[in-house]
Amino acid sequence: MHDSLKEGQLYVTVDMMILTVREGKLNLLLSQRKDKPYAGQWALPGRFVGLDESAETTVHKLLEEMLPVKDAFLEQLYTFSEVNRDPRGRVISTAYLVIIPWNRLETLFEEARIPFSRFEISGEADWLRLKGTDGTILTGGDLAFDHGRIIGTGVQRLQGKIDYTEVGFRFLNDRNAFSLGELQTVFEAVLGKQLDKSNFRRTIKARYEDTGKMTLTDREGRKSRGRPSLLYQLKGE
Amino acid sequence: MHDSLKEGQLYVTVDMMILTVREGKLNLLLSQRKDKPYAGQWALPGRFVGLDESAETTVHKLLEEMLPVKDAFLEQLYTFSEVNRDPRGRVISTAYLVIIPWNRLETLFEEARIPFSRFEISGEADWLRLKGTDGTILTGGDLAFDHGRIIGTGVQRLQGKIDYTEVGFRFLNDRNAFSLGELQTVFEAVLGKQLDKSNFRRTIKARYEDTGKMTLTDREGRKSRGRPSLLYQLKGE
DNA sequence: CCAAAAGTGTTGGTCGTACACCCATGC
DNA sequence: GCATGGGTGTACGACCAACACTTTTGG
């Protein structure tokens, strides 16, 4: 459909930054391009916005086709409109943050029913390093198009919002049964640094439990060794 | 050029939210539509993005044509892409915040060399009230397209950023000679509430003077009556 | 002298940070 | 028992809100 773009016409795409937290690390899903521009290079999953759909709708469709996953969190990130950002023609892209709990992706990866590869994000927002499952190390400039810049913007945005919004909870496997330890792991992965346990708990409890947004359940978490954790749930979504 | 849009094609526009602070109030510039869709109604100034320009470039061009003003502050706000937001066809709009100090606009208004009207913004971000110079009262729903929603988003964003970024300074008539009183007036206009003088000064000094971003000048401000103010300047832009 | 605007000081509470300590479980 | 992860308590400094106060000008 869009293999060759018409001249004298402007196109809009959406690009998705699919994020998850696995084993204490922030992970990003990328796909390897098959077709002509930047063939073989890694890129954010994207798609052209159709005439009969909003950008949000496009992202939803793209997600549903690629990942049989419900309950993904979506947020518009930024619109990139440099004239030469796409060698195929005039393409403006609106980037979206997508957050998916790791347990929705785990089995898909094991069964190889997923058209993406997983990369661990490390480094500061400007000097990002992406480490693939096979050991490949990528940096922003290695990616197709301006996707390196998009990813930098996205990580910064996420780090800036996690303290005073509820996005952090979107990484949890089960928002109706999670421990504060799990939540802290998410925060540490996103922020890329260790947090004090006691202070973290007090802050979260003050901000969410005392306001009724988060309540203690009667269930207990039981992982491997160590004291079982109390499980909380998020209310009203 | 774009009087009638082609079918089967997608267009991108930019819309500008031009903001200024005048006499302690946050003001927005709107233009009255002459042409067909929503003719006669008030709207954000906008323009189609050309094939050879980025959205930022388009905003700059639009600004230069409409307002002979240098040194305006620009920031992308959000991209609105609902399918039916424009009755002419499929139009996606990227909205921008534009901040211009009032003294750059004042003479333009007096000489009527400006294709916009000025509206004072009041009310909370969801229930905005716009009061025109002739006494007209508008609310979000009275505006053309989805511009009411855009303005709400913009005001919220500005309020959220003014405390921990330097946007507030962009409203100042002279960033090389301003008093803390003027700056407080800007903050109060944007936030729509009174602030404590002493606390405001301490916070600003701690955040900007102690870090070297703002320094005291040797000049003094002299308005009407009252003690003359010390003037500060912002460094490194 | 008085009003008005600028600028300073004090005080009490809240919040972030660092750190020390107890609890329950698997091995 | 002991390593491991869960959970609590305290103490100090920084920061924020409220409020009272002094200083310098124009009229």
State how far Cα B150 lies from the chain centre: 12
Q: pLDDT digits over B149-197, tens only?
A: 999 999 999 999 999 999 999 999 999 999 999 999 999 999 999 999 9
Nucleotide nearest B216, from its CA to each C1':
C7
Architecture of domain B174-234: Orthogonal Bundle (1.10)
CATH 3.90.79.10 fits A10-162, yes or no: yes
Asked if residue B170 lies in contact with residue B73, where contact means CB atoms within 8 angstroms, the answer is yes
Q: How many DSSP H helices and E strands does chain A contain?
A: 5, 11
Fold classification of B10-161 is Nucleoside Triphosphate Pyrophosphohydrolase (3.90.79)
Output the pLDDT for position B126.
81
Burial of B152 (0-12, 13-18, 19+ CB in 10 A): middle
* Residue A192 amino acid letter: G
Q: How many residues does chain A have?
A: 237
Q: pLDDT digits over A98-123, tens only?
A: 999 999 999 999 998 899 999 999 98
Of A53, A78, A82, the CB nearest to B83: A53
Identify which of A75, A89, A153, A90 has the alpha carbon closest to the alpha carbon of residue B12: A90
Fold classification of A172-234 is Arc Repressor Mutant, subunit A (1.10.10)
pTM: 0.94
Of B55, B82, B83, the CB nearest to A81: B55
Measure, in angstroms, how far nucleotide C26 C1' is from residue A224 CA.
7
Measured between beta carbons, which residues in chain B are less than 8 angstroms from residue A94?
79, 81
- Residue of A1, A5, A9, A10 best to disrupt the B interface, most CBs of B under 10 A: A10
Tokens 């009203």 label which residue?
A: A236
Residue B94: closest CA among chain A residues belongs to which residue? A79
Identify which of A115, A95, A129, A164 has the alpha carbon closest to the alpha carbon of residue A27: A129
CA distance A101 to B23: 50
Measure, in angstroms, how far nucleotide D25 C1' is from residue B122 CA.
33
B176 to chain A, closest Cα gap in Å: 30
Q: How many residues does chain B have?
A: 237
Q: Does B174-234 match B10-161 at the fold level?
A: no
**DSSP 3-state assignment of A56?**
helix
B52 to chain A, closest Cα gap in Å: 6
Asked if residue A62 lies in contact with residue A72, where contact means CB atoms within 8 angstroms, the answer is no
Of A76, A78, A90, the CB nearest to B51: A90
Residue A52: closest CA among chain B residues belongs to which residue? B83
Burial of B60 (0-12, 13-18, 19+ CB in 10 A): middle
Output the pLDDT for position B129.
97
Q: Which residues of chain B have pLDDT under 70?
A: 1-3, 237
Asked if residue B19 lies in contact with residue B99, where contact means CB atoms within 8 angstroms, the answer is yes
Domain boundaries, chain A: 10-162, 172-234
**DSSP 3-state assignment of B135?**
coil
Q: How many CB pairs under 8 A join A and B?
A: 52
Output the pLDDT for position B236.
74
